[in-house]
Structure 1
Amino acid sequence: MRLSKEQLEQFDRDGYLFFPGLFTAGEISLLAGEVPQLYARREAYNVREKDSDAVRTNFAAHMYSEPFARLARHPRMVGPVMDLFGEAVYMHQFKINGKMAFAGDVWQWHQDYGTWLNDDMMPTERAMNVAIFLDDVNEYNGPLMFIPGSHKKGVIEARHDLTTTSYPLWTVDDALIARLVERAGGKNGGIVSPKGPAGSMILFHSCLVHASSSNLSPWNRVSVYLSLCAVSNHIRRFQRPEYIAHRDFAPIECLPDDCLLKAYPVQLPWKDGVPASALQTSPVPIEEMRKAA
């Protein structure tokens, strides 16, 4: 799948593109069917909600789950990002976020690149998120909210929130959010929230300011988030475990478009468990680590 000139212009203006129903019911059923057994595992890569046992985020499923390993190489997801960057990409982060019925907590207002810069020392914002809905997303089950055009501000000031939820995040001050929303149109489009059926996909800029509210509805809202980074822009520090911020900078090689429905072979390096090396971290930049070695 390749982007048109109009889509490229829209992305530059708004900071996101929405593709309702891009994946079929059969493709999504295969992925969604894997989630319960992944969430059931008592592993470090399953981060649970602060006040419940519900999984907030499952990391790195493409390293140990065959269906998600194939999704990580899907041309409908990788192709548009390569169009936007004009170069090959690697997988910086792979998450299955569970906004579970009655239990899914908020994600505060933030830019993803703020975290990647501060925690991982990613040089520039040449990285992007792809969100794929595994459940129908409506106005009640905690949909993503974007401030259109906020990516044009570049990296904005953030603070490290370690207390609001179970997952630390570099978050944006409320007063600045109010100014950004007003600049984007206030009550007339200053906040947008793409909603649609399972199988829908969103591409959004790593500097686009976004958030989601808690899920008080009786409907789950599980989505896959794949963070793709230009190979030339790979991270420079391994301060976080590898299951959160990956260290393999090899370009993604796409599988055929029917890869979710056919059992194309894929490597599953962590199928027998996460190696100890993936849990090791260092605040020292890669260049200094290499010099010391």
Structure 2
Amino acid sequence: MTLTDTGTADPYPTRMSGDPELLDRYEPTVWTTGMAGPIDPATLAAHDSRGYSIHHDLLSAPEVAAFRDELDRLPSTMEGDRRVIVEDGQVRTIFQVHRVSPLVAELVRDPRVLDRARQILGSEVYVHQSRATYLPAFEGRGNYWHSDFETWHAEDGMPAPRAVSMSVALTDHHPFNGGLMMMPGSHRTFVPCSGGTPPEHYRTPLRDHEIGLPSTAHLTSLASAYGIEQYTAHAGAAVMFDANLMHGSGNNITPFPKANIFLVFNSVENTLRAPTRPVFVADRDFTPLHR
């Protein structure tokens, strides 16, 4: 396996035949290169060891209400847009939301958000991907276990897991309404997946994927080693997690819908090589974000 445009050996080979073995991750989680930020040392250390950190009260109640109104408004303005993913007759995802919503465009540059991403990645950053996500009441379907970096590496040509995601809760996240589950510490292990990559793979609900997902044997091994924790928080909180953290979510059969703004920040020193997915899924504008 090689990285397409360099000819160098790929340290994270994936999407192959057979039963690939687990691999150690080479790069750090928190890049301590002098980037100051609002995360305190204890939280930063926990993020480094566990692969994620929770940031309560990131947004105020009025800000949460404004963003919820924005997410309610957007689907009616984007009918037929390829960036809108519909499942079971309902809008589930709007990609590139920071380019269609002025409010979200401000959010990615907000010091409360941007400075946290820069602090963890130790460099200037850009938005690799943004999306609004909706999990409806009673019939919202969860996402199977996966590492985002495996997909970003295989399909977008992201060289290394020097990226961090921030999921901003716009509704309360209970243990019972499709909450995010994570395996703390699993970000130190890369899990290769078997199979090829079909066209328009990003449009397929993750629960229906047959490739790009870890084997049950690998998941059992990781869960036995690291355990499983669930993210619960009030609206306005955010969870930041490493690109390579193993995570998933359950179905929502409760009367309580979920909504999030999901932002992926990538280091400008880790830009994509020969991406295959559309620009609204894997952005090619590597210009550093500024306030």
Could you report, residue by residue, the CA deviation over 1:39-85 in whole angstroms, capped at 9, with x for unpaired residues? 23321111111xx1112211111112111111121111111121112
Give the whole-Å Cα distance in 1 for the aligned partners of 2:89 and 2:44: 41
Please state whether the residue corresponding to 1:104 is helix, strand or coil: coil
The answer as to whether partners of 1:54 and 1:104 remain within 8 angstroms in 2 is: no
Cα deviation for residue 117 of structure 1 reads 0.1
Whether 1:5 aligns to 2:41 is yes
The one-letter amino acid paired with 1:47 is I
Equivalent residue runs for 1:1-293 within 5 Å: 2-40=38-76, 41-42=78-79, 43-49=81-87, 52-153=88-189, 155-159=190-194, 166-167=205-206, 170-184=212-226, 190-254=227-291
Give the whole-Å Cα distance in 1 for the aligned partners of 2:177 and 2:130: 22
The one-letter amino acid paired with 1:68 is V
The one-letter amino acid paired with 2:288 is P
The 1:30–1:145 alpha-carbon spacing in structure 2 relative to 1, beyond 3 Å, is same
The answer as to whether partners of 2:180 and 2:230 remain within 8 angstroms in 1 is: yes
Give the whole-Å Cα distance in 2 for the aligned partners of 1:236 and 1:122: 6
The 1:31–1:159 alpha-carbon spacing in structure 2 relative to 1, beyond 3 Å, is farther
Could you report, residue by residue, the CA deviation over 1:163-221 in whole angstroms, capped at 9, with x for unpaired residues? 9953557211122111111111xxxxx11111111101111000100000111111111
Please state whether the residue corresponding to 2:229 is helix, strand or coil: coil
Give the whole-Å Cα distance in 2 for the aligned partners of 1:44 and 1:164: 9
The answer as to whether partners of 2:121 and 2:164 remain within 8 angstroms in 1 is: no
The one-letter amino acid paired with 1:247 is R
Could you report, residue by residue, the CA deviation over 1:226-271 in whole angstroms, capped at 9, with x for unpaired residues? 00000010111231111111111000112xxxxxxxxxxxxxxxxx
Give the whole-Å Cα distance in 1 for the aligned partners of 2:188 and 2:63: 35
The answer as to whether partners of 2:85 and 2:203 remain within 8 angstroms in 1 is: no
The answer as to whether partners of 1:54 and 1:103 remain within 8 angstroms in 2 is: no
Give the whole-Å Cα distance in 1 for the aligned partners of 2:172 and 2:239: 13
How many residues align? The count is 246
The answer as to whether partners of 1:20 and 1:196 remain within 8 angstroms in 2 is: yes
Could you report, residue by residue, the CA deviation over 1:148-173 in whole angstroms, capped at 9, with x for unpaired residues? 000011x2122468699535572111
What are the ranges of 5 or more consecutive residues in structure 1 without an aligned counterpart? 185-189, 255-293
Q: Which runs of 4+ in 1 moved over 3 A?
A: 159-165
The one-letter amino acid paired with 2:219 is I
